[in-house]
């Protein structure tokens, strides 16, 4: 044995994922396809949000979904009823999607449809407020959902998720009259964690806020496509 | 995260000729404002590398403090959850992060067989 050698590499632990995420983004850009990474805790309403969103969005834009879930294809089956291309990605024991999984999902999508014909790809991540925040998938924007039943303190408890998000959707606001919940405190906690994020209050029951959300998406697509 | 660390080590070792080296210590820099709990990373790494070429490797973690910069007065400060991450000087929201997002392999101590 020789004397120990110290190799100073200063390498990002996530560099392989970041490298694949960059490759995914190049592909999305070549397809002129805007990609949103939709994240939240389990049960915040991601799938229901997509169901309602896609009903209207599909009238204006060609859309597809990569549907991440640890087990089952239940959410993918719900979205397939909307007659849009949906690719389920079952992560097994992994609590988040990574760039490789999304690359695999994109390859399966390419077998279903030419992505050149699409305007937007919505990626529903696995329900989790921790790991998805650290793993880039090649998305152009990150959207985080937070339902009011989760409590006002979540942006402080899970700051990285809310720091990383470009848009935060406060969901289930139809429940506000029935809960002891201070929405201004929640907004203040969001602002202190991420003052630059856009914030929209939304309800999948009353459909309030969906006009703002759809408008946000439309503007992002049109800007991305330079229209 | 442990899987990413091991994959990074595999990639590094392939360039060094993996069969001819023994990794003694992996020095990591982990920021306080990340989703990584250092002790959990050490425990999962130790479990994951059992029986592999990295079994005898130890992890050393340097924690990098979470530091922000007040966008009003430019003072550096350590954001605290209890204070909503706001600057104690001007009570401003956290805009600029100076450090704390690091997830790095700083260096690797190894021996040639």
- Where do the H-state alpha helices sit in A181-209? 183-193
Per-residue pLDDT reduced to its tens digit, A36-93: 999 999 999 999 999 999 999 999 999 999 999 888 888 889 999 999 999 999 888 7
- Any B CB within 8 A of A11 CB: yes
CA angle A196, A27, A169 (to 5 degrees): 30
Q: What is the DSSP pairing of strand B21-31 with strand B103-112? A: antiparallel
Please check the confidence at residue B5 and state whether its pLDDT lies above 80.
Answer: yes
Closest by Cβ to B109, choosing from A4, A10, A159: A4
**What's the pTM?**
0.92
Q: In this predicted structure, what is the pLDDT of residue B91? A: 94
ipTM field: 0.88
Q: What is the pLDDT of residue A71?
A: 83
Evaluate whether A193 touches A180 at the Cβ level (below 8 Å): no
Cross-chain CB nearest to B24 (options A4, A14, A130): A4
**Contact between chains at B12 and A11 (C-beta distance less than 8 A):** yes
The distance of Cα B29 from the centroid of its chain, to the nearest Å, equals 4
Q: What does the alpha-carbon distance between residue A92 and residue A214 come to, in Å, rounded to a whole number?
A: 32
Q: Provide the pLDDT for residue A1.
A: 56
CB A178 within 8 A of CB A148: no
Minimum Cα–Cα distance from B11: chain A residue: A16
- Burial readout A49-78 (b: 16 or more C-beta within 10 A, e: otherwise): bbbbbbebbeeebbbbbbbbbeeeeebbee
**β-strand A120-124 against A63-69: which pairing, if any?**
parallel
Q: For residue range B33-75, what is the model confidence (pLDDT) as tens digits? A: 999 999 999 999 999 999 999 999 999 999 999 999 999 999 9
Give the sheet arrangement for strand A63-69, strand by strand. A86-90, A63-69, A120-124, A34-39, A141-147, A167-171, A198-201
Please give the backbone phi and psi of residue A66, each rounded to the nearest 5 degrees, phi first.
-105, 125
pLDDT at A23 over 70: yes
Q: Cβ of B1 under 8 Å from any chain A Cβ?
A: yes
Residue/partner pairs of A186-191 with CB below 8 Å, 24 or more apart: A186/A146, A186/A148, A186/A152, A186/A154, A186/A155, A188/B84, A189/A152, A189/A153, A189/A154, A189/A155, A189/A156, A189/B84, A190/A155, A190/A162, A191/B93
Q: Looking at residue A120, what is its pLDDT?
A: 97
pLDDT recorded at residue A72:
84
Residue with token string 């397809």: A31
Q: Which tokens hold the place of A112?
A: 């279903």
- A9–B105: do the CB atoms touch at under 8 Å? yes
B78 touches chain A (CB under 8 A): no
Question: What does the pLDDT look like over A166-204, one tens digit per residue?
Answer: 999 999 999 999 999 999 999 999 999 999 999 999 999
* Overall average pLDDT of the A18-44 stretch: 97
User: How far apart are the C-alpha atoms of A53 and A44, rounded to whole Å?
Assistant: 15
* DSSP annotation of A177: G
DSSP state for residue A14 in the 8-state scheme: T
**pLDDT for the residue numbered B93:** 94
Q: Which residues have C-beta within 8 Å of that of residue B15, sequence separation ≥ 6?
A: none
Q: Do B35 and A134 touch (CB under 8 A)?
A: yes
Q: Judging by beta carbons within 10 Å of its beta carbon (0-12, 13-18, 19+), is residue A181 exposed, middle or buried?
A: middle
DSSP 8-state assignment for residue A180: -
Q: How many CB atoms lie within 10 A of CB A1?
A: 7
The answer, for A199 touching chain B at a CB cutoff of 8 Å, is no
* Helix, strand, coil tally for chain B in percent (to 5): 30, 35, 40
Note whether A207 and A175 are within 8 A (CB).
Answer: no
3-state helix, strand, coil in chain A (%, to 5): 45, 20, 35
């Amino acid at each position: 044995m020789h004397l120990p050698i110290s190799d100073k590499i200063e390498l990002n632990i996530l560099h392989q994922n970041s490298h694949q995420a960059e490759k995914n983004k190049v592909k999305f850009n070549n397809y002129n396809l805007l990609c949103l990474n939709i994240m939240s805790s389990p049960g915040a309403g991601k799938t229901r949000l997509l169901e309602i969103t896609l009903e209207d969005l599909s009238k204006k834009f060609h859309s597809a979904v990569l549907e991440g879930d640890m087990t089952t294809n239940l959410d993918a089956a719900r979205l397939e009823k909307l007659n849009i291309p949906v690719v389920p990605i079952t992560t097994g024991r992994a609590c988040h999607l990574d760039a490789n999984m999304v690359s695999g999902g994109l390859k399966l999508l390419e077998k279903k449809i030419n992505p050149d014909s699409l305007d937007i790809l919505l990626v529903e991540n696995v329900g989790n407020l921790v790991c998805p925040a650290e793993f880039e998938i090649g998305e152009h924007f990150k959207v985080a959902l937070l339902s009011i039943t989760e409590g006002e303190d979540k942006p402080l408890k899970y700051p990285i998720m809310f720091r990383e998000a470009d848009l935060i959707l406060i969901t289930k606001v139809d429940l506000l009259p029935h809960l002891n919940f201070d929405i201004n405190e929640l907004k203040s906690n969001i602002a202190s964690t991420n003052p630059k994020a856009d914030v929209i209050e939304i309800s999948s029951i009353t459909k309030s806020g969906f006009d703002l959300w759809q408008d946000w998406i439309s503007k992002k697509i049109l800007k991305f496509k330079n229209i | 995260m442990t899987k990413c660390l091991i994959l990074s080590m595999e990639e590094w070792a392939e360039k060094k000729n993996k069969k001819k080296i023994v990794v003694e210590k992996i020095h990591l820099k982990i920021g306080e404002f990340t989703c990584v709990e250092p002790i959990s990373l050490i425990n999962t790494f130790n479990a994951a590398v059992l029986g592999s070429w990295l079994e005898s490797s130890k992890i050393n973690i340097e924690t990098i403090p979470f530091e922000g910069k007040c966008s009003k007065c430019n003072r550096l400060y350590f954001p605290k959850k209890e204070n909503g991450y706001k600057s104690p000087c001007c009570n401003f929201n956290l805009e600029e992060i100076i450090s704390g997002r690091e997830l790095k392999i700083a260096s690797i101590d190894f021996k040639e067989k």
